Chain A
């Protein structure tokens, strides 16, 4: 999810963008060859659509990504995996794999509404009614309506089944009360996906429903949480008699857990969340920067040697992530779910992300301490990666119990 300050895209207005070569990605993989027509087509488009570097300040950064989302969407370059009937291209997961790789080689950020595109939209397609699909999917695709996910609560983090937020039907509306936390970019959202208890007195996985709640109403208060990086990526969402139309339930009433699990499968499976290509591009930038830093005397030769050993280790591990993503894409293309393998991908990604963030800052030596720099920011920012989409420890539990069959 982290956007690279290191990728090189020419910002020259009206000019063309410079795309990195495929060698940055590593060896060619059989089902996604570098001379694939899809790659050529998308590279052609990307070359004609250069974009400037990402701003560091968060509001500006989000605006930058939104503008980019709209630019992509205008020519049909978002939601490629969505079915044609919902405005996508019905592209398979292997095409998505190439899409993310090319996007990264262009130094372009992911579309702003990635959560909507890869999590909420597809979950709606699986569990939503026709009316809900018609109402919401076009806005997600175009980038006109931003979504956020109201799952975790102060006392229901890794143990999500402990959610206490409740909703009761009053007339034609759900009245929702409770508190959500760790809601990514809640402050920019128009709509909130809320997992809540609709059966009074129910426990654990039973009696939950997934509701769509409009963010702009008196019953919804969204407060950003300031992170160690200075970003405010996550929010607290307070629901005090918040209202949602009776029909805005995703899946059956009382079957919210199933819908939530579907969403998690997308989260653990989609490479948009575990983007190896963006990492490889960032790492190539780090390697370049280190050489410059050494020449400029910002880092000693001893420190540079240590960093290079670390970079090689990171490159090898990102190649592993690339193969896991490739594997996921091959499985998805043949119509199979990822199961616990999604947890492997997530675990590898989260741990790598932190180390890569640290390597970015380390490559400029003590300069990586100065405020207001992308590299300084990235080291702090990435500490969240092994926590926010399921901690590494929870992923290891899932792997051990579901894949390896160890007892609970």
Chain B
């Protein structure tokens, strides 16, 4: 067993409950079946999560939330990640809601409340693309203020839940900075094309917005620094899902090593295999600690801490998850590369999660930049 992060132990009951629900709601059979449907997710399971109040766990009680903070929500992310749950939860409750909390003003309250209540789902579309934005870098999405209101133009590729969300929460370049906007995803000005990838459990889509009417969710402009802070903040729920998936991947591998016999003994008794598992376990433990230490920073409003912790944990979680999945395939031997066992699904999920927000190399480059600033 991988040890719980030290800081998560105060929430052992919540954690156990979440694990149990996730394990029964998202069994391997259900996950495979849901991923194969047109929507790519299990609507019944989503309603169940909504009934449990999970989309609003971290939200303010004033708008119907449970006020339990990002830390507790990350426990949910971790368990959904562990089951490869095909669910709107990450896109809507994790990324879009998180963006509204961080950057939105009172204009964003209604949308936030409806996402928390699960009456609508949202996808987050970052106009600068992947990685961290720069002042003079390219922007795929631009927003223009017209006499009739704001409109957004441009293209965004491989957007999580882009094709099935009701609403797009868009960060787009304006004339002098960035802005946060709500765009109705179901109108003609938004063209959405589902993008099939290696991982059917994450529903990605390519979006084309053509003079799409938008509602501005914050009166003040958003600075490049604030968009960077948003990426740091978004790294936390995504990394929680990756850490959870990596742990599950190792646990399945350990189970196999304990039960599969060769040469008259369980193969898990061979040191060559043990040591590989130990290395994965150490990396996982560290990655989990990083994720939950960062979740505490989010709840404490420690923006400076997250500037370093965000890219750090994103890079490490992605590396660790991919490594755990690669090792899982190898340690399962022949069945490891068949579709019979789930480790291959974890590998594919690791590939996709590693690109969703920022690739590892970009996260490390960002880390170098932020550290250099700190030393100066």
Contact = CB atoms under 8 A, between A and B. Distances in A.
A330 B3 CA distance: 14
A29 B282 contact: no
Contacts of B367: 312, 316
Contacts of B265: 407
A-B pairs with the 6 shortest C-beta distances? A400-B274, A320-B286, A396-B278, A399-B278, A323-B289, A330-B6
A315 B368 CA distance: 10
A327 B5 contact: yes
A396 B275 contact: yes
Interface stretch (B193-201, B220-228, B302-310, B321-329): B302-310
B3 to A, nearest CB: 6
B266 A27 contact: no
B281 A406 contact: no
Nearest to B368: A312
B271 A397 contact: yes
A18 interface: no
B257 interface: yes
A327 B290 CA distance: 11
B166 to A, nearest CB: 36
B1 interface: yes
B28 interface: no
Nearest to B294: A27
Interface in B293-316: 293, 296-297, 300, 302, 304-306, 308-309, 312, 315-316
B1 A404 contact: yes
B268 A407 contact: yes
B258 interface: yes
Contacts of A312: 364, 367-368
Interface string A364-408: 000000000000000000000000000001011101110111111
A29 B148 CA distance: 48
A344 B296 contact: no
B269 interface: yes
A100 to B, nearest CB: 18
Nearest to A324: B286
Contacts of B286: 320, 323-324, 348
A400 B282 contact: no
Contact of B7 (A316, A319, A330): A330
B282 A407 contact: no
B364 to A, nearest CB: 6
A23 B375 contact: yes
A324 B285 contact: yes
A259 B297 CA distance: 40
Contacts of A105: none
B315 A348 contact: no
Nearest to A321: B286
Chain B: interface residue count, which band?
A: 35 or more
Contacts of B258: 405-407
Interface string A300-338: 000000000000100110011001101100110000000
A203 interface: no
B254 interface: yes
Interface string B273-289: 11101110111011001
B309 A404 contact: no
B312 A319 contact: yes
Contacts of A200: none
A74 to B, nearest CB: 35
A14 interface: no
Contacts of A397: 271, 274-275, 278
Interface of B: 1-3, 5-7, 250, 254, 257-258, 265-266, 268-269, 271, 273-275, 277-279, 281-283, 285-286, 289-290, 293, 296-297, 300, 302, 304-306, 308-309, 312, 315-316, 364, 367-368, 371, 374-375
Contacts of B279: 396
B118 to A, nearest CB: 31
A183 B258 CA distance: 38
B53 to A, nearest CB: 26
B249 to A, nearest CB: 13
Nearest to B4: A327
A335 to B, nearest CB: 12
A78 to B, nearest CB: 26
Nearest to B297: A27
B194 to A, nearest CB: 36
Interface in A1-59: 23-24, 26-30
Contacts of B368: 312
A42 B309 CA distance: 27
A401 B274 contact: yes
Given A316-B316, A324-B285, A404-B254, A29 B293 contact: yes
B277 A323 contact: no
Nearest to B251: A404
B274 A320 contact: no
A210 interface: no
A110 B278 CA distance: 30
Contacts of A118: none
Contact of B293 (A315, A323, A401): A323
A315 B371 contact: yes
B6 A396 contact: no
Contacts of B304: 27-28
Contact of B266 (A327, A344, A407): A407
A146 interface: no
A211 interface: no
A284 B375 CA distance: 9
A360 interface: no
Given A323-B293, A406-B257, A27 B308 contact: yes
A284 B374 CA distance: 12
19 contacts: A26-B308, A27-B302, A27-B309, A30-B297, A316-B364, A319-B312, A320-B283, A323-B293, A324-B285, A324-B286, A344-B282, A393-B271, A395-B278, A396-B279, A404-B1, A404-B254, A406-B277, A407-B258, A407-B266
A28 B302 contact: yes
Contacts of A407: 258, 265-266, 268-269
Given A23-B374, A28-B302, 15 more contacts: A24-B375, A26-B308, A27-B304, A28-B305, A312-B368, A323-B293, A326-B293, A327-B289, A397-B278, A399-B281, A403-B281, A406-B257, A406-B274, A406-B277, A407-B266
Nearest to B265: A407
A141 interface: no
